[in-house]
């Protein structure tokens, strides 16, 4: 099992202070901090290998080798069969908007797309726009407002022979719920629909195996798993080869080039490669001769165990604060179905004010709807400022959790 103090030494930004106290980064659902190895990889690329793609000279060739290795690394992280099934882009939102345009070529008026009210708007709005453009119908699957879990009966009720795409999040960025995406994929395939999974919020917290899930597409963003601002799309190779691509004419029609439009963020992708390598090294007891995929799985298992204990400490402490209400799973027996992203309201205090008070104390949290607009609307909180959101990752500590709880008790008092 890794030691959190050793992990923290790899992240230089964690040494920041405010008013003489260490800063607490609980804003992780919006973007994590990065280890020194990622910073070094990005700077090293710009210093030594900065060049455009497919040139007949040394820097371009080194750059292309890095790009190939980064595709291989992400295939290992996601469990993809081939690096050609990995597409890099600006972020998950941009990639989803892009690929939805291509998928629209396969849709007809009257076809149906299913989205969930538990999702980030980046896995809702692109499908609403696509439905508007092609004359399709969007159907909504609901969630239980009491515990923030996806209502699978509601999802089943939306399925029909006209369903073409089912878009669902792996984990809620607002409530922390882990959805049963394996069942969602199975249900989609039973009616001949494609399954599009948003794994942005889940990726830093648990292992992903696209082959085992059987999903058709899966998207995530590296800046949520200790990398730079780069997005990643996994697509089944047979689908990516058949799917119409919106690209410039001279661009190759081979994978993944046909969907990686324009020059990529090369230095960012160098950072993604380093972030995946970091994740493969978190668990020090992983066998040295193990494959990168096996080492990533070992690290993610340790991360899950550590974060579950830390999240339990956070939720138990929050429940003791008078007037505080947590939205999402709070039953310890159900913690396997949540990531350590916890949202709450403190009485009638406005979430922005609470976040500002915590910020004054050097504790960084989010407030509002975090682009999970459908969630705050369903909970009746959108007009009230949404919620305060605390997100833990494996570099956070029990002392930081206790410091947050002490601050909230003071604010509540």
Is 208 contained in some domain? Answer: yes
Q: Are residues 31 and 123 in the same domain?
A: no
**pLDDT score for 329:** 98
Is 143 contained in some domain? Answer: yes
Q: Are residues 224 and 295 in the same domain?
A: no
Q: Are residues 250 and 327 in the same domain?
A: no
Mean pLDDT, to the nearest integer, of 221-245?
A: 97
Mean pLDDT, to the nearest integer, of 331-344?
A: 98
Is 249 contained in some domain? Answer: yes
Q: Are residues 150 and 68 in the same domain?
A: yes
Whose tokens are 């990529």? That residue is: 264
Q: What is the pTM of this model?
A: 0.97
What is the total count of domains within the chain?
A: 2
Q: Are residues 179 and 48 in the same domain?
A: yes
Is 152 contained in some domain? Answer: yes
Predicted confidence band of residue 285 (pLDDT cuts 50, 70, 90): confident
Q: Are residues 233 and 304 in the same domain?
A: no
**pLDDT score for 395:** 98
What's the rounded Cα separation, in Å, for the pair 44 and 233? Answer: 25
Mean pLDDT, to the nearest integer, of 391-407?
A: 98
Predicted confidence band of residue 354 (pLDDT cuts 50, 70, 90): very high
Domain around 357: 4-35+291-412
Among residues 279, 309, 329, which one ends one of the domains?
279
Predicted confidence band of residue 386 (pLDDT cuts 50, 70, 90): very high
Q: What is the pLDDT of residues 141-155, one digit of tens each?
A: 999 999 999 999 999
Predicted confidence band of residue 57 (pLDDT cuts 50, 70, 90): very high
Q: What is the pLDDT of residues 132-187, one digit of tens each?
A: 999 999 999 999 999 999 999 999 999 999 999 999 999 999 999 999 999 999 99
Mean pLDDT, to the nearest integer, of 278-306?
A: 94
Q: Are residues 243 and 391 in the same domain?
A: no
Q: Are residues 299 and 264 in the same domain?
A: no
pLDDT at 324 > cutoff 90: yes
Q: Are residues 313 and 272 in the same domain?
A: no
Among residues 239, 258, 279, which one ends one of the domains?
279
Among residues 279, 306, 335, which one ends one of the domains?
279
Is 286 contained in some domain? Answer: no
Q: Are residues 202 and 230 in the same domain?
A: yes
pLDDT at 250 > cutoff 90: no
Question: What three-state secondary structure class fits 137?
Answer: strand
**pLDDT score for 296:** 98
């Amino acid at each position: 099992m890794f030691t959190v103090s050793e992990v923290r030494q790899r992240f230089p930004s964690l040494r920041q202070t405010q008013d003489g106290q260490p800063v607490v980064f609980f804003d992780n659902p919006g973007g994590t901090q990065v280890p020194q190895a990622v910073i070094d990889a990005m700077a090293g690329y710009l210093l030594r290998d900065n060049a455009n793609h497919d040139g007949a000279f040394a820097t371009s060739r080194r750059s292309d080798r890095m790009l190939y290795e980064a595709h291989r690394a992400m295939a290992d992280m996601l469990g993809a069969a081939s690096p050609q099934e990995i597409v890099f882009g600006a972020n998950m939102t941009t990639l989803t908007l892009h690929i939805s345009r291509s998928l629209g070529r396969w849709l007809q008026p009257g076809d149906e797309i299913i989205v969930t009210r538990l999702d980030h708007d980046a896995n809702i709005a692109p499908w609403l726009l696509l439905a508007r453009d092609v004359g399709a119908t969007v159907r909504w699957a609901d969630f239980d407002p009491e515990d923030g879990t996806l209502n699978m009966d509601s999802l089943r009720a939306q399925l029909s022979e006209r369903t073409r795409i089912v878009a669902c999040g792996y984990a809620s960025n607002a409530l922390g719920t882990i959805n049963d995406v394996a069942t969602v994929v199975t249900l989609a395939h039973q009616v001949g629909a494609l399954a599009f999974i948003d794994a942005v919020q889940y990726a830093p917290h648990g292992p992903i195996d696209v082959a085992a899930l059987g999903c058709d597409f899966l998207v995530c963003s590296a800046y949520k798993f200790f990398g730079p601002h780069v997005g990643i799309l996994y697509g089944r190779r047979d689908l990516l080869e058949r799917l119409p691509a919106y690209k410039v004419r001279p661009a190759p029609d081979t994978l993944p080039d046909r969907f990686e439009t324009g020059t990529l963020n090369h230095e960012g992708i160098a950072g993604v490669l380093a972030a995946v390598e970091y994740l493969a090294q978190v668990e020090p007891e992983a066998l040295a001769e193990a494959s990168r995929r096996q080492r990533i799985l070992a690290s993610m298992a340790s991360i899950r165990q550590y974060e579950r204990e830390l999240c339990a400490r956070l939720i138990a402490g929050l429940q003791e604060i008078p007037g505080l209400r947590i939205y999402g799973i709070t039953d310890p027996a159900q913690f396997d179905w949540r990531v350590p992203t916890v949202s709450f309201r403190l009485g009638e205090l406005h979430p922005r004010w609470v976040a500002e008070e915590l910020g004054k104390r050097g504790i960084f949290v989010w407030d509002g709807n975090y682009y999970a607009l459908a969630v705050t609307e369903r909970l009746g909180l959108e007009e009230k400022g949404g919620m305060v959101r605390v997100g833990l990752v494996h570099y956070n500590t029990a002392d930081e959790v206790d410091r947050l709880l002490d601050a909230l008790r003071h604010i509540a008092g």
